[in-house]
Amino acid sequence: MVTLKEINTIDELIDRVFSYNPDADFDLLRRAYMFSREAHQKQIRIEGSPYIEHPLAVASILTEMHLDTTTIAAGLLHDTVEDTPVTVDEIREFFGEDVSFLVDALTKLSRMEFKTSEEAYAENFRKMFLAMAKDLRVILIKFADRLHNMLTLEYLPETKRHRIARETQEIYAPLANRLGIGWLKTEFEDLGFKALMPEAYEDLVHKVAKKRDEQEGYLNEVVEIMHDKLTEMSIPGKIYGRIKHYYGIYQKMQRQKIPFEQIYDVFALRIITDTNANCYALLGLIHSLWTPVPGRFKDFIGAPKSNLYQSIHTTVIGPKGEKIEFQVRTEDMHRIAEEGIAAHWKYKEQGAVAKKDDKYFAWLRDIVSQSQKDTHNAKEFLETVKGTIFFDVVYALTPNGDVIELPYGSTPVDFAYSIHTAIGHQCTGARINGKIVPLRYTLRNGDTVEIMTTTGHHPSKDWLKFVKTHRARTRIKQWLKTKEREEAIEIGKGLVDKELRKHDLSPSLAKSKEILDIAKSYKINTYDDMFLSIGYGKVSPHQIVNKLVPEEEKTGKQPQKATKATEDRGIKIKGIDDIMFHRSKCCYPVPGEKVLGFVTRGRGVSIHTADCPNLDAVAVDKDRLVDVEWSTNSDMTYTVRISAYTLDKPGVLADLSVVISSENVNIHNIVSSATHEKRAYIDFTLEVKDKTQLDKLLKKITQVSGVIDVKRIKTA
C-alpha cells in the first residue's frame, strides 16, 4: 500500500509544492489554510484530533499528484461550506472563481453521499460525472478526500465503515481505473478489501509475504539474467519486481476458483526502457530466453486500453519451470499508467500528455451527453455506464494479435462492430481459437476471434437481444431503421406511380415541382419524405395525385369515390387528420365496437375490431397500432358478414331473409353450404348501421326456427 509522506503543517505543504513548482502562489495556499483552520476551529475529527488535519492531508495527497495550486487550495477548503457556516460566496470573494467552483461542486457531491436508496446512488453517480465533465479537478480532490477517509476508516462505526468501503470499491476504484490513475485504483481496491473482508485480507497479506520469502532468490536470478542481457545488447532498462495488489489476487482466486498457491503472477517483473522499439526488442529477448505461455501475450502498445494504458505483457516459463509475468513499457507509458488523467493537471508537465487529452475527454463527453438525454432516469444511466464503461472488461484478440477491449459479456458481433461497421453488418459467423461458435457466444479474456463475413449479408433484429456494446447496438438499429425507411420509400414510389398511371398522367410527375408543391400543403418538404409518408400510409397517393388530375377528368369518376369517402369518414384517428384508412376485410368492424388501427405499409391504416384474431399476427410491431374511434354519422351503413348454423331444411333461408329485411338491413350476398349431418351454414353479407342494430339482428336470427347458432365471421 502507498506510504504517504506525512505532512503536519502548512510549511511542510508549501515545501512540498515548492519542490515541483517553485513559482507557485504560496500566498494563496497559506490563506486557504488559515481560512480553513479558522472555519473548522470548533470541529474535531472522530479520533480526537483537530479537524484541520483532514483538509491538510487531502491537500498533501494532491501534492503527491503534483497538482496545481488552485486544486490544492480547493483541497484545503473542500469541507468548509459543507461543515461550517462559510458560504460559497465568501469562498469566491476570497479565493476567486476557480477555487469556489471546485469547493461548490465538492459540497454538492458530499451532500448526496448519505442517500441510501439505489435511485439516489445512481443519481449521485450521474452528478459526479456532470461535475467532473466541467472540471476534472473536482474528481481528483474527491479522490484525495476519499483516500484520506479510507486511510482513517478504523475510527468509524462498522455500518458507516462498510458503506464507505463498498462505495469506494464500486465507484471510486473503477472510476480511478477509467481515468487511468493506476495507483489510486489499486489503493481504493485494497483499502476497500481490507475494510470489508479483514480476515481474507490478513490471510492474503500473510501468504504473499511467505511466498515472497520463498521466491526471492529465484526472482533475483531472473533479474540477474535479464540485467546481463540488457547490458550485453546495450538496451537501457530498469528492472523492478512487482507484487500484484491484494484485491487483484483475491479477485483472480474467486474468478478462477483456484487457491492462492495456483496464482502464478503474484510477482511480476517490470522493465522500463526508453523507446517503443526497445519494448519490442525486449519482448523478443524475453521470448528467446524462455518459452512464452500461449495466449498470454498482450500488446497494449499497439492497441492501448481505453484509459490509454500502454504496456506489453507476456508470461514465460522461467528458469525453474515456473511461470513468470513480464511487463515492458517506456517511462512515458509508465507515467500514464500511474497518473492517468491527473497528469493533465500536473504543474508544468501539461504538454506531455496534451495530445492525448482528447481521448480522455471523448468518452467522458459521451457519458455526459447520454446522461443529459436521460435526465429522468438516473438508474438507466447507471446501467449504461456500468455496462459499457466501468466494470469488467474482456480483452479479445484479432487473428493478428491486436487486443480489442470490450465490456464484459460482449459477443463476436460486438467484436465485429468494434473493428468496423461493415464487418459488423456482414458478420455471419465467428471462430474462437479456431472453433466455430454461435454469434451470441460470450467472449472470454484472451480469446482469439476470427469474424466470418459474407458480402451482402445484413444485420438481424435478433442481434439486439445479445449485443453488449453501445456501438454495436446503435449501428444495428441504424441499419434496421435505414432499411425500413428505404422500403417504405420504395412502396411510396410504387403507389404514386400506380396512381399517376391510373389517371393517365406521366410517371415523371412523381418527381416534379407540381407534386412537391402539393406535398408541401401536407407539411412534407422533400420527395423522399413524401414517398415515405405515402409508404407508411400517413398520406394516400390519391390525396397527392388527385390535385394533379385535370378538373374535367375528375367529374366523371366522382360518384364512385364519394361513396367510398362517405363510408371512410365514419372513423376518426386520434391525433391524426387526413389519413387514409379502410375497414379490414377479416373482421368488418362496425360502429359501437371497440376498434384499433394498424398502420400498414402503403395502404394507410386498416381498422380492426379490438378482438380480431388477425391483429395479433399482423401487429407484431406495436408501434404501428394507433387508437381510433368512431365518429357517429347516422346515414352510413357498414358491411358485415355473419354466418348462421342451421338445420338443412326448406324454409329456413326464406325465414331468415324476412327477419333480416324486417330490421331494415340490406342483404348483399348469401352463400349457403350443406354439411353431412343435415346441417347447413348460411353466410350473409349485410349492411348495418352499427353494433346495436347488428346485435339486435343476431338475437332475432337465433329465435328463427331451425337456427342452431349465429356468429360474426372473422377470418384469421
Cβ nearer to Mn ion, comparing 103 with 367: 103
Report if residue 79 touches Mn ion, rule: CB under 5 A: yes
Q: Which of residues 295-324 bind Mn ion (CB under 5 A)?
A: none
398 vs 413: CA distance, rounded Å: 13
Cβ nearer to Mn ion, comparing 79 with 187: 79
Q: What angle do CA 53, 59, 64 make, to 5 degrees?
A: 120
Cβ nearer to Mn ion, comparing 45 with 207: 45
Stretch that binds Mn ion, among 72-80, 282-290, 471-479, 588-596 (CB under 5 A): 72-80
Cβ nearer to Mn ion, comparing 140 with 587: 140
Stretch that binds Mn ion, among 23-31, 137-145, 325-333, 503-511 (CB under 5 A): 137-145
Residue 143 CB, shortest distance to Mn ion, in Å, is: 11
Return the closest-CA partner of residue 247 out of 210, 198, 311: 198
Quickly list DSSP for 658-710. HHHHHTT-EEEEEEEEE-TTSEEEEEEEEEES-HHHHHHHHHHHHTSTTEEEE
**Which among 25, 82, 655, 683 is annotated as catalytic?**
82
Residue 345 CB, shortest distance to Mn ion, in Å, is: 19
Residue 141 CB, shortest distance to Mn ion, in Å, is: 9
Residue 79 CB, shortest distance to Mn ion, in Å, is: 5
Question: Phi and psi dihedrals of 683, rounded to 5?
Answer: -100, 130
Stretch that binds Mn ion, among 140-148, 296-304, 392-400, 700-708 (CB under 5 A): 140-148
Cβ nearer to Mn ion, comparing 54 with 493: 54
What element of type H or E holds 609?
A: strand 605-609
371 vs 173: CA distance, rounded Å: 21
Please indicate whether residue 221 is annotated as part of the active site. Answer: no
Please indicate whether residue 462 is annotated as part of the active site. Answer: no
Q: How many CB atoms lie within 10 A of CB 562?
A: 10
Q: H helices of 503-580, where?
A: 513-520, 527-535, 541-545, 551-568
**640 and 712 in contact (C-beta within 8 Å)?**
yes
Q: How many CB atoms lie within 10 A of CB 341?
A: 25
Cβ nearer to Mn ion, comparing 146 with 689: 146
Report if residue 142 touches Mn ion, rule: CB under 5 A: no
| Amino acid at the residue 456 | G
Return the closest-CA partner of residue 503 out of 545, 532, 533: 545
Report if residue 135 touches Mn ion, rule: CB under 5 A: no
Residue 189 CB, shortest distance to Mn ion, in Å, is: 21
Cβ nearer to Mn ion, comparing 175 with 586: 175
| # of chain residues touching Mn ion (CB under 5 A) | 2
Residue 231 CB, shortest distance to Mn ion, in Å, is: 49
**Which among 83, 265, 568, 683 is annotated as catalytic?**
83
Residue 145 CB, shortest distance to Mn ion, in Å, is: 4
Residue 54 CB, shortest distance to Mn ion, in Å, is: 6
SS3 348: coil
Stretch that binds Mn ion, among 77-85, 245-253, 528-536, 702-710 (CB under 5 A): 77-85
Instruction: Report CA dihedral (513, 518, 521, 525) to the nearest 10 degrees.
Output: -40
Interacting residue with Mn ion among 68, 104, 135, 145 (CB under 5 A):
145
Stretch that binds Mn ion, among 145-153, 282-290, 306-314, 454-462 (CB under 5 A): 145-153
Cβ nearer to Mn ion, comparing 13 with 524: 13
Residue 28, C-alpha cell as written in the block: 494563496
Instruction: Report the residue closest to Mn ion, judged by CB.
Output: 145
275 vs 272: CA distance, rounded Å: 9
Return the closest-CA partner of residue 703 out of 661, 644, 624, 637: 644
Stretch that binds Mn ion, among 79-87, 525-533, 535-543, 620-628 (CB under 5 A): 79-87
237 vs 612: CA distance, rounded Å: 78
Catalytic residues: 82-83
Interface residues with Mn ion (CB under 5 A) are 79, 145
